[in-house]
Copies of this chain bind each other. A is one copy, B any other.
Amino acid sequence: MALSEEQKTIIKTASDKTFPFVERCEVQTLEVERGYCKMLMPLKPNLNHVGIMYAGALYTIAELPGGTIYLTSFDTKRFYPIVKDMSIRFRRPATTDVTVEVTLSEEEISRIESTTEETGKCDFEWDVEIKDANGEVVAITHNVYQLRKIGS
């Protein structure tokens, strides 16, 4: 079930403007499809005191796809997501804007949704590579989220 162009625009805007912390970082949701997003964290507003991207901004751009993928994939009237655990390993300084891409398969979307429907909740997880403008991996994360049924 592909997203319409209108749905994509709504999700991009919702992702970029979801709350002030994200707006302040000037996050950009570049592309969305069902089960997919590509998001960007700009360098300039997120520089630290030594002229590289702050660790907290790198963490943030790796965490945010959890909410965006949720919007592309799940019934937002019946389910909501939480973040449970995350680990981040820093490999090299980020000296450009950075991007992340996350994909969730149809099989995984079905598994998560049906398990949540049956039991009230379901964990899901993925790895994220944070890449700089040259395609170099600056950090790697492992993210664990949980989908929950509203009202259960």
Contact = CB atoms under 8 A, between A and B. Distances in A.
Interface string A65-95: 0000000000000001011111111100000
Contact of A63 (B20, B45, B55): B55
Contacts of A82: 90
Stoichiometry, as copies per complex, reads 2
A54 interface: yes
A90 B20 CA distance: 21
B87 A86 contact: yes
Contact of A25 (B21, B48, B85): B21
Contacts of A89: 84-85
Interface of A: 18-22, 24-25, 45-50, 54-57, 59-60, 63, 80, 82-90
